[in-house]
Amino acid sequence: MAGYTDPPYRELMKEFRIPVLFTEMIDSHALVHRNDKTSKMLGRRDQQLFTQIAAGTAVLADGALSVLLEEDIRGINLNMGCPAKKVVSCGGGSNLLRHPTIIRDICRNVRKRASHIPFSVKFRSGWDMTSLNFLEVGKIFEDEGVDFVILHARTRTQAFSGRAHWNHIRMLKDHLRIPVIGNGDVVSYETAKAMVDASGCDGIAIGRGVIGNPWLYLQAAAALEGDAPLKEPSIDERFRIITRHYELILDYFGSRLSTHIFRKHLVGYLKGLPGQKLVKEELFKDEALSLERLKDVLGEYFLALKTGLSLPNVAPKDLAQTA
């Protein structure tokens, strides 16, 4: 996910034993021009890592692939689902769903040149509800040698709103022999199980639900394997993961950029906890948050949550009210 699954995040995710991870979507133009910021998005070439690119033409995808093969990537994923205007207007992301011939050209070339590494595609149900073509393009992927597909079961017009159509995942699963990974609206063990039951999908890809809740990966794995739900993480475990995450961000990006990068993760980690607004206010004051300061403020807050003690300036009853 753009802005989230950067190299420090992926390092942290090793603790969650995720079988497949994706980079943020990388713009092929930027790759071809060897933009520094883009190179930093690539990170370590771990075995389970798929590098995701967006390209609107076979020529551009080919240029980006040349750079990535030099970089010794371990897996390639093509984004044919991004709804963002700036991606669509360059012909890439979900725009490709309107051009199956270009999809075929891109996939054929990628498969030929990257025959030694796994190749997957992420796509949507179609451009809009009047032009659903996930079965047609899914078959193109299979015919062109894509190893597995991830279907975000929404249309481009839906963007991220409305419900994902899990019945599309079921239809695709019935239509193809290659593995079909379902995506859209998994936010808990229960929704993961419901998606598996509804669609028969071979795996689950999760987007927004894991922001601040990486434990959801473990819940989804349990649902896929038919196991019972796991216990929610303890306060101590949350503290360990949040502070480790920030440590990894600081190591990778340095103190100047890290505070800004971390904020959105912190918002996710604290979401729904009583009194979290005050903690955010306190931590967001700092333009260059140190790891020690994070540990102090968060430690005090979590201790208050665990023991029912009051936070400075906040009575215990207000912890609930400020949630």
Q: Which residues are catalytic?
A: 82
Nearest to 185 by CA among 204, 212, 172: 204
What distance, in Å, lies between the first and last C-alpha atoms of the chain? 27
Residue 10 binds ligand FMN (CB under 6 A)? no
Q: How far is the CB of 308 from ligand FMN (least distance, A)?
A: 34
Residue 291 binds ligand FMN (CB under 6 A)? no
Residue 263 binds ligand FMN (CB under 6 A)? no
Residue 209 binds ligand FMN (CB under 6 A)? yes
Residues between 114 and 173 that touch ligand FMN (CB under 6 A): 122, 152, 160
Q: How far is the CB of 133 from ligand FMN (least distance, A)?
A: 18
Q: Which is nearer to ligand FMN, 152 or 170 (CB)?
A: 152
Selected range binding ligand FMN among 113-121, 181-189, 213-221, 293-301, rule: CB under 6 A:
181-189
Question: Rounded to an integer, what distance in angstroms lies between the CA atom of residue 213 and that of residue 38?
Answer: 26
Helices (H) and strands (E) in the chain, counts: 14, 8
Question: Rounded to an integer, what distance in angstroms lies between the CA atom of residue 300 and that of residue 6?
Answer: 29
Question: Rounded to an integer, what distance in angstroms lies between the CA atom of residue 112 and that of residue 107?
Answer: 8
Q: Which is nearer to ligand FMN, 79 or 125 (CB)?
A: 79
Where on the phi/psi map is residue 109: left (φ > 0), alpha (ψ -120 to 50), or beta? Answer: alpha
Count other Cβ atoms within 10 Å, centred on residue 198: 14
* Binding test (CB under 6 A) with ligand FMN, winner from 100, 203, 207, 229: 207
Applying CB under 6 A, the residues found at the interface with ligand FMN are 1-3, 24-25, 52, 79, 81, 122, 152, 160, 183-186, 206-209
